[in-house]
Amino acid sequence: MKLLVIVPIITKDFIKNPRERVETYVRLETKVDFVNIDYGPASIESMYDHDMAAPFVVKKAEWAEKNGYDAVVVSCMMDPGVEAAKQAVNIPVVGSGEAANQVAGLLGKNVKTVHARPLTVLQLIANPEKAFECLMINGKKAIEDGADVLILGCTGLTGLAKRLQNELNVPVLEGERLALSLAQMMVDVGISQSKKAFPKPAKKKRILPD
């Protein structure tokens, strides 16, 4: 099985140690590749960034299907281009945000998304310890406000969930890893997004960068 993770930004060093990011969430024999989009924002922190990235996510999903990948995961909690990619291809497409939210609903009744604010997305890469400190502060506040399940609000925080879960004693979810697990399961059982829900777009002239 081959899965492609689309990182919907142009920052190449956003993903470090790819195999460590997926361990325990996919089988050893499942091949997972990571690829950035060719055009778009350096990070996604607004709807402007989201919309800039979306068409190039779709383009990568189409490339994945043509090149033998069995499923696609989009590594951003805002799920840029995910619905359009589900229309464009027949292989499963899973967004990190939708995966975390679907699983969270099975685990608790009051789900909160926590961020490492005030850090920006790119600062998360440079200072993971500071990011964890911010998550602890914001996570404790969310629990005080009634949260019983936490979702990490950026895939740049991947790798911190288990540590935060041990500290806060509630489930803490990472969207990218859950999306990979769901994508693997969908391939295993032979299901993909419904073409009634996500019909193929009509063929017409479209111009995108090569």
Token readout for 95 is 């967004």
| Partners of 173 in beta bridges | 151
State phi, psi for 31 to the nearest 5 degrees.
-85, 125
| Partners of 73 in beta bridges | 5, 94
* pLDDT of the residue at 174: 95
* pLDDT of the residue at 122: 85
* pLDDT of the residue at 202: 85
CA nearest neighbour of 178 among 149, 151, 138 = 151
Q: What structural domains and CATH numbers belong to the chain? A: 2-95+176-189 (3.40.50.1860), 101-175 (3.40.50.1860)
Whether pTM > 0.85 for this model: the answer is yes
* pLDDT of the residue at 123: 86
CA nearest neighbour of 177 among 13, 11, 23 = 23
Q: What is the pLDDT along the chain (210 residues), one digit of tens a residue?
A: 999 999 999 988 877 777 777 777 889 899 999 999 999 999 999 999 999 999 999 999 999 999 999 999 999 999 999 999 999 999 999 999 999 999 999 999 999 999 998 988 888 878 889 999 999 999 999 999 999 999 999 998 998 999 999 999 999 999 999 999 999 999 999 999 999 999 998 887 777 666
